[in-house]
Amino acid sequence: MRFKQDFFEQLDGFYTQVYPQGISNPHWLGWSDDAAQLIGLEKPNDALLMQLSANAAAPGASYYAQVYSGHQFGGYTPRLGDGRSIILGEAIGPNGAWDVALKGGGPTPYSRHGDGRAVMRSAVREFLVSEALAALSVPTSRALAVIGSDLPVWRESQETAAITVRLAKSHIRFGHFEYFCYSEKGAPDKLTQLLNFTLAQHFPHLSADSASYKQWFVEVVQSTAKMIAHWQAVGFAHGVMNTDNMSIVGDTFDFGPFALLDTFKEGFICNHSDHDGRYAFGQQPGIGLWNLKRLAQALTPIIPSDDLIAALNRYQPSLVSHYVSLMRAKLGLSIDSDLGRAAQAEREKQDLALISQFTVMLENNQLDYSNSLRKMGKIDISSQYSSLRDDMLNVSEFDSWYQAYQARVGDVADVAAWQQQRNQHNPKYILRNYLAQEAIIDIEEKADNSKLIQLQQLLTRPYDEQPEMDHFAKRPPDWGQGLVMSCSS
């Protein structure tokens, strides 16, 4: 790996240098060839294993943990920071630089009395979901590898430690700006320094002036809206949407108790600590805006309030527009680009209503989200019969919706091509929690990572028919339906 150290060299006082602690008996559990290409790596080797397990120094790495704060479940925590993640620096790849972090590399000054370790099950889950979301075109951080060990760690019981090697375009979070607004003296100077660095590194088309600050926040609002629109379209529940888990570049990261929906349920809660359902699946769009408002409050020393409010007002239209666009592709709802602005807006409103009726039907009939959408690739849209009808308890409700849906789709000259297009937008295989759990159990009980490797390879081609893997596309068994997880999972 070739590193540059812009954050480390230019933002003194925004981090603490800390060296990771190695794990015993390190071994590769999983490796992503796709992620490796991002930073110019080829195949894993023994030297790289020792470096990424923190048993040997990586040439050019600086090793540091960032400081930030954040709103956690609605309450402000003034000092958080990287409690179990240590950044090596920015690895230079063919198309840009990616932060490389060892998640589970040992304690830092921000560990809050924790051991700074990641347990194997959480490391495996982050590795799988990072690469699975990337294959679904969801904006996300990536996972280069997951490294196992025999180092014991204690949670509810004794487990073994592991390290996820995370790649991120940036580790700057909403919480960075909150910290340097509320917790540091001379906040405007620190905020301006952080913002100018963010612009130079991640928004190079913008200059460091008041007009660019305004435009930057507009882009942050829109990229956040786009990310959450993707979550809602693929059925992804993050589980812990604290402001310290919100990326300033609009990528999904800091995975804990996440889930991809099995049975569609707006109120699905994947985090067993979320007793009030603050971060339920259907609440995510609203929480995205709430978090952006907290970021806006932290920016008031350097950006006029009127500009911040104007940008925030773009959030809902942007999210709805991205969501409708994604769902149109899934359902085969074409759009005439020649329509005027008013007609486009009215059509978007009508399509959103049609999409909402569809998801309500799925929930009322307790149907699997991904499998139901995948069936679009088998529908003869010109026929009055749809195989989806056989899944419905309320047939008359479906018939009414399907009639309106057919009218909206219109005439389809080539049904086979239309079906193929649906299969390019509706995955057959998703990372269901029970599948991840089965892979984890095999590692824990048999020291066998073959299911993990098989699952990761499957999820890099989620849209392709892979008949030998069809069992992975089935609805979960009873024990695996709607699994909820803890923050350490």
- Active-site residue numbers? 244
Helix residue ranges, H only, 61-209:
120-135, 174-182, 187-202
Question: Two tokens at 193?
Answer: 């320094």
Is 84 annotated to bind a ligand? Reply is: yes
Is 103 annotated to bind a ligand? Reply is: yes
Report the chain's terminal Cα–Cα distance, integer Å: 29
At 265, which amino acid appears? K
263: left (phi over 0), alpha (psi -120 to 50) or beta: beta
Is 82 annotated to bind a ligand? Reply is: no
DSSP SS3 for 152: strand
447: left (phi over 0), alpha (psi -120 to 50) or beta: left
Residues forming a β-bridge with 368 = 263
DSSP SS3 for 270: coil
Is 254 annotated to bind a ligand? Reply is: yes
Is 115 annotated to bind a ligand? Reply is: yes
As a whole number of angstroms, the distance between CA 123 and CA 117 comes to: 10
As a whole number of angstroms, the distance between CA 327 and CA 320 comes to: 10
Is 274 annotated to bind a ligand? Reply is: no
Cβ–Cβ < 8 Å for 237, 330: no
As a whole number of angstroms, the distance between CA 108 and CA 117 comes to: 10
As a whole number of angstroms, the distance between CA 78 and CA 179 comes to: 7
As a whole number of angstroms, the distance between CA 303 and CA 181 comes to: 12
Bind-site residues for ATP = 81, 83-84, 103, 115-116, 166, 173, 254
Residue ranges for the known binding site for Mg(2+) are 245, 254
| Binding-site positions | 81, 83-84, 103, 115-116, 166, 173, 245, 254
